[in-house]
Structure 1
Amino acid sequence: MSARTTPRSDAGTRADAGREALDELQYLFADGPCLTACKTQETVHVADVATDERWEGYLSRVAEHGVRSILAVPISLEAGARAALNVYSTEQGGFHPDAITTAETFVAQTSKALMLSVRLAQRSESAASLKTAMESRTAIDIAIGIIMAQNRCTQMEAFSILKSVSSGRNEKLRDIAASVVASIGQAEPETHFDP
């Protein structure tokens, strides 16, 4: 296996479409080297699609696309997510042991970058969720204070009133709270949140 950069062209677009078609075939057959690598988390090497007896239907179909050998290397991800890198060759025995080792090393390094990317995305989503929750909580707390002052009631009673109106109008609690705050001429409260 050699790594090279190919300029994008019509030929490159056709090649990408061809690889996508090959991947879609595995999903159609619900089995194949890539899916097996995902399940087992072990590298799968098909040296010759014409003689390999696993996934016969799938392999005969990829042979129609000029594929002669396949390498599928599992990508380690966290939280039960599974993926694999699928590499196709137009030559029988297209993946020598050194090429397989190189692919596995590449995937191991890529796995680390993907895991970091997933963690950062999860952190960003968590921060956004916390910010939204804090903004809702601020409006609700201010509304409870307003209801307490207007009705001379306890915090629990004011919250109960707010919940009752929310339920009766079939609107979210935070929306009712925002309307209570707005009803006394106040702008929507600002919440400072540094993740």
Structure 2
Amino acid sequence: MSADEGPFRETDGLAAAEPEVSLQRLVLENPSIKGFLGELAILASARLSAPGNTIHSGVTVLRRKKPEAVASSDAAAKALDELQNGFGEGPCLTALRHKTTLLVPDLAAETRWGPYVRTAMQHGVYSILAVPLDLAGDAESVLNLYSGRSNGFSSQDIALVESFAGQAASSLRLILRITQLSDARNDLAAAMQSRTVIDVAVGAIMAENRCDRDTAFNILTRASSTRNVKLRDVAAMVIASISGEERITTHFEE
């Protein structure tokens, strides 16, 4: 299959210059990791594409030791990432595992990853560049770039992508930190909310049974154990039975 028959058939205007988009703005506009990686793939494709040489870009992340295509500049890039992941080998996965940039200038002359290389060429791929994203141990990811031409990446392209990947990794580490802090905050809020509901229920039991706090708490925990229901849910049912409210809220909820 020729390059014109595969997903790399050139489209007029695809490689036209696009506005410069800062990675910092991508972080602000895409607080989710998946959203940022999607914009990153599109930006990488736009920066490297040239008339007659459209570059398709994807991002693969290693999750529980299994590679997963999480973002792409277009459907063709996603399909090619998933194809390589299906084979379990290829230049992008090798770059990911060895944490080093890997260029395959001409798939027709490549002797490694035989089954994958043959299939990739049938899909119109003739050169591949893979650059890992250094996330400082937080995760493992690689930026995958596909060209429908042999020698589709120059030495200047490689230097540009490595610099770009370094900046992107810094931004991605920031998003990971933000996500971790947000998760911690949400966990704390949930714990405080549960504690408040339980405390209110204990107070209601104390008033109803004219007992001390320890006795009231034991009544609540026994009910939780006997019914095999979470303590917070039992507490909410106690409050609902007294107040008549079906949904119990606290000032910790936003």
Which TM-score tier does this pair reach, normalised by the shorter chain?
0.7 to 0.9
Do residues 27 (structure 1) and 75 (structure 2) align? no
1:63 maps to which of 112, 116, 121 = 121
Is 2:138–2:173's contact at 8 Å kept on the other side of the alignment?
no
1:143-164 CA distances to partner (integer Å, 9 max, x unpaired)? Answer: 1122233334333322221011
Tell me which residue corresponds to 1:134.
Answer: 192
Do residues 47 (structure 1) and 105 (structure 2) align? yes
Normalising by the residue count of structure 1, what TM-score does the alignment of the two structures yield?
0.84
Unaligned runs of 5+ in 1: 7-11
More helix by share: 1
**Shift of the alpha carbon at 1:2?**
7.2
Cα distance in 2, alignment partners of residues 58 and 23 from structure 1: 11
Normalising by the residue count of structure 2, what TM-score does the alignment of the two structures yield?
0.66
Q: How many pairs are equivalent? A: 187
Aligned identity (percent) is: 44
Tell me which residue corresponds to 1:88.
Answer: 146
Q: SS where residue 108 of structure 2 aligns?
A: coil
Unaligned runs of 5+ in 2: 1-44, 51-55, 57-72
Tell me which residue corresponds to 1:3.
Answer: 47
Cα distance in 1, alignment partners of residues 178 and 97 from structure 2: 25
Do residues 191 (structure 1) and 251 (structure 2) align? yes
Cα distance in 2, alignment partners of residues 96 and 48 from structure 1: 12
1:105 maps to which of 163, 179, 199 = 163
**Shift of the alpha carbon at 1:186?**
7.5
Q: Which runs of 4+ in 1 moved over 4 A?
A: none
Cα distance in 2, alignment partners of residues 42 and 121 from structure 1: 27
Cα distance in 2, alignment partners of residues 141 and 79 from structure 1: 41
Cα distance in 2, alignment partners of residues 16 and 69 from structure 1: 17
Q: Which has the larger radius of gyration?
A: 1
Cα distance in 2, alignment partners of residues 186 and 137 from structure 1: 20
The one-letter code sitting in structure 2 at the alignment partner of 1:127 is R
Cα distance in 2, alignment partners of residues 63 and 100 from structure 1: 21
Is 2:205–2:216's contact at 8 Å kept on the other side of the alignment?
yes
